[in-house]
Amino acid sequence: MRLFRFVVAQVLLACLAIALPADGGRSSSVTTVSLVKQFGYPIQEHEVQTSDGYILTMHRIPYSKRTGDTGKRPVVFLMHGLLCSSSDWVLSGPDNGLAFILSDAGYDVWMGNARGNTYSRRHASKTPLLQPFWNFEWHDIGIYDLPAMLDKVLYSTGEEQLQYVGHSQGTTALFVLTSSIPLFKRRIRSAHLLAPVAWMGNMESPLAKVAGPLFGQPNALIELFGSAEFLPSSKAMELMGSLLCRDHAVTQVMCTNVLFMLGGWDSPYLNTTLMPEIMATTPAGCSVNQMFHYLQEYNSNYFRQFDYGSTRNKKEYGNKNPPNYNVEGIEVPVYLYYSDNDYFASLIDVDTLRYTMNPNSLKRAYRMPEEKWNHLDFLWGLNVKEILYDKVLDDILNA
């Protein structure tokens, strides 16, 4: 049985990781820069190198076209989720895109891009065409990418603190950072976390249910082969879509995008006008290990570091089990915004998170009254400004 599972896992892994030229190295003409320009706002690109050599691109809207350059502004940093990028925050345009809303409200808006995505595929000495580049997962985004980007933002602006907004994996990375490097709290005035993801034992994504039992094991494969770029082929996604996504109300196009497989598709809120932009910018690239680490959490119901199997765990962590993230110790003021219909961040898991956190750090836990609001609606839901972002903006102003 174990051998059978191992073989099936191998085959599936090969299917997922084989880079078909049609999918790999996507070069879409829709980019964060082109989108922001199209809406008439100023946009800058900034590069930063992490201490382990990854070269990341940040996008910045320094001021709003509606207000003009008003001089020094407080800083907000936006961090995208799994398979996503800085485009998330701008593709819905000035009325609904959070980056524009914050810019109009007087903020200097910076948007991060994690290693491996469309805008952050460079390294001082490694190439994304070869395997060693992809030996990372979201723990590294938390302890390398975020510190590098946040420090650069503070240095460039001369500010001492910034406010952080994350979606999905952008919240996980913040939990990793603030629980692993507690001193960083001095630089983050508040963290506003949309669809927060820490514990995952109750995740409802169909993809997790299928892949979890196979790939959520302590990872011996990784020991042998290392990680790889996660590149679901369009054929594989079409097959998955037809197997898993049976809802007739759903347009077929959603079910061929891995993002909806993870985040859910049965939402009446998704602004379908945005589908062309969403399809053009996502999936934006990640490493297979990012997926595996989440699937391990799904299987183990622990929010802890990557499980390499007991032998390597002993080497890496000095213990046969990986260490838990110290969520109790987080001191940054945190605001959570979550919903009932989120396949990725289920209510039970968010409850575990919020009851584990120190109550002095948890400033707000806003459970949305919109029952059908799902994981991706936090970015692209209809009327997201009135429904959610006005509240987030209020919290940012008052934090």
Ligand X SMILES: *[C@@H]1O[C@H](CO)[C@@H](O)[C@H](O)[C@H]1NC(C)=O
Q: Which of 25, 53, 93, 213 binds ligand X (CB under 6 A)?
A: 93
Whole-angstrom CA distances from 166 to 70, 92, 115, 317 are: 26, 17, 16, 28
Question: CA 100, CA 243: separation in Å to the nearest integer?
Answer: 38
Among residues 342, 349, 377, 395, the one annotated as catalytic is: 342
**Closer residue to ligand X, CB minimum distance, 175 or 389:** 389
Query: How many Cα neighbours within 13 Å face the side chain of 384?
Result: 30
342 noted as active-site residue: yes
**Closer residue to ligand X, CB minimum distance, 17 or 393:** 393
Piece in contact with ligand X (CB under 6 A), picked from 89-97, 149-157, 308-316, 321-329: 89-97
**Closer residue to ligand X, CB minimum distance, 311 or 383:** 383
Least distance from ligand X to the Cβ atom of residue 274, Å: 5
Question: CA 399, CA 393: separation in Å to the nearest integer?
Answer: 10
168 noted as active-site residue: yes
Residues whose CB falls within 8 Å of the CB of residue 105, separated by 6 or more in sequence, listed in order: 393, 397
**Closer residue to ligand X, CB minimum distance, 350 or 379:** 379
Question: CA 334, CA 357: separation in Å to the nearest integer?
Answer: 9
The interface with ligand X within residues 371-390 (CB under 6 A) comprises 382-383
| Helix, strand, coil percent content, the chain, rounded in steps of 5 | 45, 15, 40
The interface with ligand X within residues 96-155 (CB under 6 A) comprises 96
Q: To which residue do tokens 């690109």 refer? A: 45
Among residues 103, 168, 287, 339, the one annotated as catalytic is: 168
x/- letters, 264..283, toward ligand X (CB under 6 A): -------x-xx---------
Least distance from ligand X to the Cβ atom of residue 96, Å: 5
Least distance from ligand X to the Cβ atom of residue 350, Å: 25
Piece in contact with ligand X (CB under 6 A), picked from 93-101, 114-122, 211-219, 291-299: 93-101
Query: How many Cα neighbours within 13 Å face the side chain of 146?
Result: 32
Determine, following the binding rule CB under 6 A, whether residue 217 of this chain makes contact with ligand X. no
192 has which bridge partners? Answer: 165, 335
CB 111 within 8 A of CB 99: yes
Among residues 192, 375, 377, 395, the one annotated as catalytic is: 375
Pairing of strands 75-79, 162-167: parallel
User: With CB under 6 A, what is the number of residues at the site for ligand X?
Assistant: 9
Q: Which residues bind ligand X (CB under 6 A)?
A: 92-93, 95-96, 271, 273-274, 382-383
- Residue numbers annotated as active site: 168, 342, 375
